[in-house]
């Protein structure tokens, strides 16, 4: 038999249909014609290329709602297009990238043991039951890294869903591994707006840093970002008095501070332990519970996470150099 792998019935059916074919081409399948023309398909593809963040409902409008949402979804997959989580990054300018690259080259010789000496610090506001709406894009995450915004461009912020109970905290950790407590920060009544001021940070550092930094086996390095409350003279003088070795920090670089990863883990742990926080009223009791939940969740984080995050620093530095100071994959 010439075609042993093809069933006999298939061969017989093919031969009987031969007389109905024209130019040896298969007949079109029965059923309704496609609602989207080739021009429609091309238009959808071009629209996605021009606006990778476009929503499915907007693509439906581009073809006058000829088809259902699922049809557009299947079409994009046929085109090899899919939605990816959009990376949240601050807007960088060439000057910012230059400073980030300079920082990376300064610390590229650091070993994991050197990075373990660094105490990473930051403030985080934990707000009950609220967050930014996640955006999606047809551009792959690795390709999003090469999208350098024009100088002066602004990141579009997603409006909040309403005012909720929230509290600002400060914390620090090192790769030894060691951590500070999760310390609530309250407004300074003497400041113009009554919020957290440089005096608040100065008092915090004076109370916490001596014990925290001296707990390391080797000389500690302290990291803080360039927020005005950190760079004020009153804070700089206190750090000098405490003989702190301060790491020079480049602007707009949350991707280089591993404590940012801890904030995400902390919020997930709070939700896991206290899901009822989502449904409580906005009052003092709820705020007290939020503080308790956050501190409990912070202490519950596996301390090995701190060492793991510290060990990512050589890779982060290499990424900055690889992308010439622009956004990294972290």
Structure confidence by residue, pLDDT tens digits, 132-162: 344 556 666 656 655 555 444 443 433 334 5
Alpha helix stretches (DSSP H) within 225-326: 228-231, 233-241, 259-273, 284-300, 304-311, 313-322
Q: Point out the least confidently predicted range of 126-140, 213-227, 284-298, 316-330.
A: 126-140
Write down the mean pLDDT value for the chain: 83
Cα diameter, the chain: 97
Taking alpha carbons only, the member of 80, 70, 64, 72 closest to residue 41 is 72
Lowest mean pLDDT among 113-127, 211-225, 243-257: 211-225
pLDDT digits (tens, 9 = 90+) for 189-204: 887 777 889 999 999 9
Which residue(s) pair with 22 in the sheet? 25
Whether residue 98 has pLDDT greater than 50 = yes
Q: Which residue has the tokens 């999208």?
A: 147
Residues 244-280 have pLDDT tens digits of: 899 999 999 999 999 999 998 998 899 888 888 888 8
The four Cα atoms 164, 165, 169, 173 give a dihedral, to 10 degrees, of -70
Stated as kind and residue range, the H or E segment containing 59 is: helix 56-62
Q: What local confidence, expressed as pLDDT, does residue 17 receive? A: 74
Is 63 in contact with 36 (CB distance < 8 Å)?
yes
- Distant-in-sequence, close-in-space partners of 11: CB < 8 Å, separation ≥ 6: 3
- For residue 280, the Cα-to-chain-centroid distance in whole angstroms is 28
Q: What was the pLDDT predicted at 26?
A: 65
Strand pairing report for 166-174 and 183-185: antiparallel
How many other β-carbons are positioned within 10 Å of the β-carbon of residue 297? 21
**Residue 130 banded pLDDT, cuts 50, 70, 90:** very low
The SS3 of residue 271 is helix
Which of 228, 162, 224 lies closest to 192 in space, CA to CA? 228
Query: Minimal CA–CA distance to 255: which of 185, 309, 201, 183?
Result: 309
The HSE-up count of residue 2 (CA atoms within 13 Å, CB side) is: 1
For residues 277 and 242, the answer to whether their CB atoms sit within 8 Å is no
What per-residue confidence (pLDDT) applies to 22? 65
Cα atoms in the 13 Å half-sphere on the side-chain side of 238: 21
Predicted local distance difference test score (pLDDT) of residue 154 = 41
Q: Are 200 and 185 in contact (CB under 8 A)?
A: yes
Element at 211 (helix H, strand E): helix 198-214
What gap in Å lies between CA 243 and CA 241, rounded to an integer?
Answer: 5
**Is residue 290 scored above 60 in pLDDT?**
yes
Q: Which residues pair with 123 in a beta bridge?
A: 170
Please say if the pLDDT value at position 127 is more than 90: no
Model confidence pTM above 0.95 = no
**pLDDT tens per residue across span 25-68:** 666 666 677 788 888 888 888 888 888 878 888 888 888 888 88
Whole-number percent of the chain with pLDDT over 70: 82
- 153 Cβ contact list (under 8 Å, min separation 6): 91
User: When comparing pLDDT for 117 and 20, which is higher?
Assistant: 117
């Amino acid at each position: 038999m010439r075609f042993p792998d093809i069933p006999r019935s298939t061969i017989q059916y093919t031969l009987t249909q031969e007389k109905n074919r024209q130019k040896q081409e298969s007949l079109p399948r029965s059923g309704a014609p496609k609602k989207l023309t080739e021009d429609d398909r091309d238009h959808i593809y071009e629209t996605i290329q021009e606006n990778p963040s476009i929503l499915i409902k907007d693509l439906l409008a581009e073809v006058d709602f000829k088809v259902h949402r699922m049809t557009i979804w299947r079409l994009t997959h046929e085109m090899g297009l899919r939605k990816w989580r959009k990376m949240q990054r601050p807007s960088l300018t060439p000057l910012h990238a230059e400073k980030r690259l300079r920082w990376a080259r300064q610390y590229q010789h650091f070993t994991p043991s050197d990075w373990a000496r660094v105490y990473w610090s930051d403030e985080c506001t934990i707000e009950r039951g609220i967050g930014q709406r996640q955006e999606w894009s047809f551009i792959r995450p690795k390709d999003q890294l090469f999208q350098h915004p024009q100088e002066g461009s602004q990141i579009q912020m997603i409006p909040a869903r309403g005012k909720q109970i929230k509290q600002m905290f400060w914390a620090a950790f090192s790769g030894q591994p060691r951590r500070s407590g999760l310390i609530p920060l309250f407004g300074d009544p003497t400041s113009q707006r009554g919020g957290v001021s440089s005096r608040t940070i100065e008092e915090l550092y004076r109370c916490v840093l001596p014990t925290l930094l001296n707990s390391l086996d080797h000389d500690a390095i302290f990291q803080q970002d360039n927020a005005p409350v950190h760079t004020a003279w009153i804070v700089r003088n206190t750090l000098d008095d405490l003989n702190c070795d301060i790491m020079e920090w480049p602007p707009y670089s949350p991707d280089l501070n591993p404590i940012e990863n801890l904030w995400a883990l902390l919020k997930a742990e709070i939700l896991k332990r206290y899901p009822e926080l989502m449904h409580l009223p906005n009052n003092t009791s709820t705020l007290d519970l939020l503080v308790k939940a956050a501190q409990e969740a912070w202490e519950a984080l596996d301390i090995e996470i701190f060492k793991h995050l510290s060990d990512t620093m050589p890779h982060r530095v290499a990424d900055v150099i690889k992308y010439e100071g622009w956004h990294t994959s972290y």
